[in-house]
Structure 1
Amino acid sequence: MAHGLRPVGIDFVENAPVRLVFTHEISAAPDAVFRALAEDVPGWPQWFSAVASARPTDGGREVRLRGGTRFEESVIEAEPSESYAYRIDVTNTPGARAWIEEWRLAPAGTGTRVRMTFALDGTGLFRAVARLARPGVGRAFHDAMTALDRRLADRDPAGPASG
């Protein structure tokens, strides 16, 4: 059953009880990565294998993961080529109480260093499971970044370094 989560602000990313932080460098430029994250919401399943469907909504997104997890999200930060963050407002994830996912983009040579932070709070069991899931979530993030980089390179006939 879906339930509403506590509405937290972007500062929650730094002070959440559970923070899962992952980084990966890709050859695509920050502006291309930002567009894939923030503007091509329906394209997420093409590069993030955990995502079954994603669609933009008024001020946010609706996302379904493989396995049945659902999210209704509000975009709380969208700075082109720099950051994209959304708060989970409603989910069917048991025990979740507050949740933000933040993507930070930084130039890395001709490419981008992508840092993703999962900022979470919930019941004791939810927090423990989130911490135990770190290795699997990290692999999923790494695989998604590799697939996104390939996807963006395929879309740019001049190569990933062009803008």
Structure 2
Amino acid sequence: MTRRLSPVGLEFIESAALRLVFTRELSAPPEAVYHALAVDVMAWPTWFSSVTRCRPTDGGKGREVLLKGGTRFRETILAAEAPERYAYRVDETNVPGPRALVEEWRLVPAGAGTRVRWTFAADGPAPFRLSLRIGRAGLGRAFRDAVTALDRRLTQSEA
């Protein structure tokens, strides 16, 4: 069953009832990381193991994402500011619980590489928020593994 989420904007990243923030440094430059996040979206499954399909929709204004286990998202791109920021809002999902969900990727030069900060901003009933707090370590591990795989992919393509 498809559920429509609230059409929140970028301000939700700061005002969400629940914000999970993860940071990691990569050796790849911000331009390469941004390209992988925002331009080469169909390649997400090659480095983000939870993602089985990711494709642009609406002429690049949105995305459709399928995760392992069958979770689906239809998203709207809220910010595509190369090479610093990529953010999107989940508009529809088949997952019960969330009322609003925005993810933001911030990229900052760090030496010859990039500091990546991923913010997962969400709202929903208390049991949903609690499940995300409990699952924080798993989300953090998924983020760490994904950006490590992305960095490996990007630095190998430079060689």
Report sequence identity in percent.
61
Equivalent in the alignment of 2:27: 27
SS at match of 1:143: helix
Amino acid at match of 2:96: P
1:94 corresponds to: 96
- From 99, 120, 140, give the equivalent of 1:118: 120
For residues 94 and 156 of structure 2, the distance between their equivalents in structure 1, rounded to whole angstroms, comes to 35
Corresponding residue number in structure 1 for 2:57: 57
Once the two structures are superposed, residues 4-30 of structure 1 have per-residue CA deviations (whole angstroms, 9 ceiling, x without a partner) of: 000001010011000010000000000
Q: Deviations over 1:105-148 (max 9, x none)?
A: 00000000000000000111111101111000000000001000
Instruction: Give 2:69's aligned residue.
Output: 67
Report the residue type matching 1:73 in the other structure: E
> Is 1:85 aligned to residue 79 of structure 2?
no
Aligned partner letter, 2:26: I
Unaligned runs of 5+ in 1: 158-163
Secondary structure (helix, strand or coil) at the match of 1:94 reads coil
Unpaired runs of 5+ residues, structure 2, are none
**TM-score normalized with structure 2 length:** 0.98
- After TM superposition, where is structure 1 displaced by more than 2 Å over at least 4 residues in a row? none
Q: SS of 1:74's equivalent?
A: strand
Q: How many residues align?
A: 157
Q: Distance in 2 between matches of 1:144 and 1:118?
A: 15
Distance 1:93 1:33 in 2: 29
